[in-house]
Structure 1
Amino acid sequence: MSISLFCLFLITFVSLIFVGKKIKRSKWNLPPSPPKFPVIGNLHQLGELPHRSFQRLAERTGHVMLLQLGFVPVTVISSREAAEEVLRTHDLDCCSRPKLLSTRLISRGFKDISFVQYGEEWKERRKFLVRELFGLKKVRSFGYIREEECNFLVKKLSESAVDQSLVDLRKPLVWLTASILCRVAFGQSFQESEFIDKEKVNQIVFEAEAAEASFTFSNFFPFAGLGWLVDWISGQHKRLKDVLFKLDVLFQHVIDDHLKPGRSKDSKDVVDLMLDVMHKQGKDDDDSLKLTIDHIKALLTNIFIAGIDTGAITMTWAMTELVRNPEVMKKVQGEIRERLGNNKERITEEDINKVSFLNLVIKETFRLHPAAPLLLPRETMAHVKVQGYDIPPKRRILINAWAIGRDPKYWTNPEEFNPDRFIDSPVDYRGQHFELLPFGSGRRICPGISMGIATVELGLLNLLYFFDWRAPDGMTHKDIDTEEAGTLTVVKKVPLNLVPVRVQ
């Protein structure tokens, strides 16, 4: 109660500063805004699921909409045409990131690639990670790891199938993506690691994402340090620090393990390569990439959080929709088993190209359930015009990819899960078609798109080839819901509990 009263006092105090001031009418043609309250603006309209709240507001206000979140103006984009102007036409002027307290802490002072502002440092870090981890050639070279970890997943699920026990499917899918990531990026076996607790990895990822997307007073009321003071009193600053500490302990273990004397260097992972860059700084002519231990930890945070969660979220939503739509499930499993035969003991990545309908299922899952429905926030570096509206420099922009994916202007029966809509359709999810933007587009498109897609394709192929899936006793497919939870990423609120039935 005392904290609430203190916050109320601060808001009232600051609001009095602005009362009576005459605000000059802007000559700019700013986007329309919904009605707002003094001081807090439209903050009260965010709700627990901002992407849904923004969609409802945009339907009444416009697909280019100006919200006042506290003292911070934010432009929300909810149409394909406007998204294309931001992400393609004005990409260079709209590709920076806002400086927020939460992202500053998690990124160790913006030493990563996800939240750092646009510039040469971002370019060098991204170039390095694409070359050494996310490039298509590298992703293909990790194919055997994905195959081995998917095979392990099938074995574990087969054990549950013996006694027909319920499986919370998200849990083994998080383990799958974490297993692949740890081997590819950290050179560690997730199953055998001494310092990665597989029972807690999902919790760590969830806490980190919640921290990145959390409400911090200073993000919306950035005045005179009072915002930071409120965050400190409310405990928000401590929660952010606690998450940072857990990640720091994990990554310090990873780094220490790579620095052990006598460790084999025959096959270098991305941690080895980053440490090599750090140790060679000042010794080579090419000093463009600057790395410290903090840089390495910040980049590992990006890899760890995005690499584990988004793939597991997508596979969980795909299985949710397939179980809810038995005809689609029958169609995709029928194609898979017909094309691959009935006697395969192990799925390989070459099998993916034989099952085209699976790709349509994945596209439709991305359309209905993008893992990050608002993508990551952008910030303008220059004045731009979008759909005729002025957007000044230093303005935050949010792209509501979730709303665009459900817009009836672009999609027939948009709430229906129907992969057939993509038959003979050129629309893809790699950032060139702005009605489908699960990974974003432009310079700040997710660099891990190839690795993420490869994991999702092979993971789903294994789940659908080796198992049939049924709802728990007393439930039917009609009882499987799609209620959401989350902010930065959106997960299925109620666990997807299914019974696996081994078919071979």
Structure 2
Amino acid sequence: MVSWEQLIINEHSAFSWLLIPFFSSSIVVIIIITLLLKLKSSSSSSSTTAKKNIPGPRRLPIIGNLHQLVSALPHQRLCDLAREHGPDVMHLRLGEVPHVVVSSSRAAREVMKTHDAVFASRPSLLAAEMMTYAGSDLVFTRYGESYKRLRKICVVEVLGAGRVRYFRPVREEEVADLVRKFSRRAARGEAVDVSREMFWLSSRITCRTVLGKARELDDGFLRMVESVSEVMAGFKVSDLFPSLKFLPAVTGYKAQLRRMRREMESMLDGIIDEHKERRAEGGGGNEEDLVDVLLNLQASGSTDFSLTMDNIKAVTVVSSDKLIILCLQEVFIAGVETSATAIDWTMAEMMKDERVLRKAQEEVRQVYRGKTNVDESSLHELKYLDLVIKESLRLHPPLPLLFPRESQAKVEVCGYEIPAKTKVIVNCWAIGRDPQYWIEPTKFYPERFADSTIDYKGNNFEFIPFGAGRRMCPGMLYATAVVKLTLANLLYHFDWKLVDGMDAENLDMTEAFGVAVGRKCSLCLIPIAYDDVPI
């Protein structure tokens, strides 16, 4: 069985696997004939406005500009093309679908603030088949009263500052368990796979936050996840070639995904039913999880909003099992993958720059001097660590292309007319490395933020790792709380060295394309205990 890593992470290209079904299926002749007929019928009515007004590279028949994205990771290649063809906005045709790539702060401001209501996120065919509630979630709900009320629920009640503070004990307990685990490894002189450990830490924190306990995933569920990975390519092709919307049905992908959707629905129904039964029996404990919060809101009716079971399931998917999210990589990216990726990149950058590592460690050890554990009470005093995290997010935004959007009407951006039904991609990775805004943009230098008011909260469009505007990531506070607490503990309790005498300059920082863009190689380090931690 093909693993999801093998499918979505290709060492040569993140897009080359899109073409696999064309050359491995017996229906290749039907596909080619369909595309040629579509090309002929649309040649006279193609988007002349986009061609005339928006700069972009020349394209080939049928595949458009897909061939120009097979030599590098998407965000990197799009950045290179934008520098040559359109520093603000650039037109591409990926398959049959017109795309506009935004690569400057100026253009991002217009798309995500000035005309934010015009650009809506749209679910892919994969999302539509996998999720019956794809229109009931925060990402894909059209802007309007329904969206504003659901957004308020998520930002204020579910992922707001008060709720993040409420779950502080969960984060502190899980990070403390990780420190004890690393201490045992340090006592034996063993290395730890930081990348893998950060993923499981983030998974456990999220599961406890959402479900009240860390649920174990059985082999059957893992097999379902692997199966989803195998059928994703057919839906990817259908998204880029709407004329081939029959492809998932002909190949059997649609039937498989519908079966998997029923399994996922059953799992979510079971989780909700467990919480309802516990509530009916008298509350079942003093601590609430996020499912309880949503059920309370539904029961109270205090939100002036009819919160349906579909809404609850959609929000649950956003925050719960990481492996579901991996399969639905175009639908939701929750705090699990992005938080783990941010920690991994930050540790890797500090290992490459001993000056930054030592300075960050000295700050944490000064602030928490004499304490046996690092809790969240004094995290606000770690000013230099804040700079380190910002710089890591600038260079390595976990979602470099953010969520794709689609124009709902004709609109003008930076003097160019974007037709309706055009997919819009905001390349925040390119914006964060634009020499127009950043001195030595590829250098890891946290001090650049020391005397700067630039932050990642959506007001500075040259730095938007969490997006901006109405559809900015509602989980920003949740993610940054996990990242900062974890890094502070790793820096306080341990000194770190690379395995096998590896030179820091040779540490592999190659990116790997996936749900969140992490490092291609796991970060394996040897912890050296700095203080006495209970084992």
Q: 1:142 to 1:212 in 2, by over 3 A?
A: farther
Question: Could you tell me how far 1:407 is from its partner in structure 2?
Answer: 1.2
Alignment length (residue pairs): 490
Question: Could you tell me how far 1:279 is from its partner in structure 2?
Answer: 5.8
Q: Partners in 1 of 2:530 and 2:264 — Cα distance?
A: 40
1:259 to 259, 276, 289: 276
> Which residue does 1:38 correspond to in 2?
61
Q: 1:163 to 1:208 in 2, by over 3 A?
A: farther
> Which residue does 2:79 correspond to in 1?
55
Greater shift, 205-214 or 49-58, is seen at 205-214
Q: 1:8 to 1:503 in 2, by over 3 A?
A: farther
**Contact 2:133 2:311 (8 Å CA) reproduced:** no
2:404 to 373, 377, 402: 377
Q: 1:212 to 1:173 in 2, by over 3 A?
A: farther
> Which residue does 1:468 correspond to in 2?
495
Q: Which amino acid aligns with 2:241?
A: F
Q: Partners in 1 of 2:217 and 2:463 — Cα distance?
A: 35
Gaps in structure 1 of 5+ consecutive residues: none
**Contact 2:158 2:293 (8 Å CA) reproduced:** no
> Which residue does 2:328 correspond to in 1?
none
Q: Are 1:148 and 2:173 matched, yes or no?
A: yes
**CA deviation profile, 1:59-93 (whole Å, cap 9, x unmatched):** 11112001101111011000111111111121222
1:173 to 190, 194, 198: 198
**Contact 1:108 1:298 (8 Å CA) reproduced:** no
Q: Are 1:413 and 2:440 matched, yes or no?
A: yes
Q: 1:24 to 1:242 in 2, by over 3 A?
A: closer
SS of aligned partner of 1:300: helix
Q: 1:15 to 1:176 in 2, by over 3 A?
A: same
> Which residue does 1:22 correspond to in 2?
44
> Which residue does 1:220 correspond to in 2?
240
**Contact 2:494 2:527 (8 Å CA) reproduced:** yes
> Which residue does 1:10 correspond to in 2?
31
SS of aligned partner of 1:181: helix
Q: Partners in 2 of 1:67 and 1:39 — Cα distance?
A: 13
**Contact 2:456 2:465 (8 Å CA) reproduced:** yes
Question: Could you tell me how far 1:229 is from its partner in structure 2?
Answer: 2.4
> Which residue does 2:101 correspond to in 1?
76
**Contact 1:97 1:118 (8 Å CA) reproduced:** no
Question: Could you tell me how far 1:163 is from its partner in structure 2?
Answer: 0.9
**CA deviation profile, 1:238-258 (whole Å, cap 9, x unmatched):** 675576466445434422321
Q: How does 1:72-471 map to 2 (within 5 A)?
A: 72-94=97-119, 96-110=120-134, 111-188=136-213, 190=214, 193=215, 195-196=216-217, 216-223=236-243, 227-234=244-251, 236-237=253-254, 240-241=257-258, 244=261, 247-248=264-265, 250-260=267-277, 262=281, 264=284, 266-278=286-298, 288-292=305-309, 294-304=310-320, 305=325, 306-341=334-369, 343-471=370-498
Question: Could you tell me how far 1:204 is from its partner in structure 2?
Answer: 8.7
Q: Partners in 2 of 1:200 and 1:311 — Cα distance?
A: 26
Q: 1:201 to 1:465 in 2, by over 3 A?
A: farther
**Contact 1:132 1:270 (8 Å CA) reproduced:** no
Q: Partners in 2 of 1:427 and 1:371 — Cα distance?
A: 19
When normalised by structure 1's length, the TM-score is: 0.89
When normalised by structure 2's length, the TM-score is: 0.84
**CA deviation profile, 1:395-441 (whole Å, cap 9, x unmatched):** 21110001111111211111111111111011101111111111000
Question: Could you tell me how far 1:35 is from its partner in structure 2?
Answer: 1.2
Q: Partners in 2 of 1:10 and 1:180 — Cα distance?
A: 46
**Contact 1:277 1:291 (8 Å CA) reproduced:** no
Q: Which amino acid aligns with 1:358?
A: L
Q: Which amino acid aligns with 2:56?
A: S
**CA deviation profile, 1:433-471 (whole Å, cap 9, x unmatched):** 111111000000001111111111111101111111111
SS of aligned partner of 2:528: strand
Q: 1:417 to 1:208 in 2, by over 3 A?
A: farther
**CA deviation profile, 1:207-246 (whole Å, cap 9, x unmatched):** 98998898622211213xxx23223445654675576466
SS of aligned partner of 2:363: helix
Q: 1:270 to 1:27 in 2, by over 3 A?
A: closer
**Contact 1:105 1:241 (8 Å CA) reproduced:** yes
**CA deviation profile, 1:447-501 (whole Å, cap 9, x unmatched):** 1111111111111101111111111114121231111112442111111111111
**CA deviation profile, 1:25-61 (whole Å, cap 9, x unmatched):** 8457531121111011012223362111111111111
Q: 1:462 to 1:25 in 2, by over 3 A?
A: closer
Gaps in structure 2 of 5+ consecutive residues: 1-21, 326-333
Question: Could you tell me how far 1:24 is from its partner in structure 2?
Answer: 7.2
SS of aligned partner of 1:85: helix
Q: Which amino acid aligns with 2:308?
A: L
**CA deviation profile, 1:370-390 (whole Å, cap 9, x unmatched):** 010000011122222111100
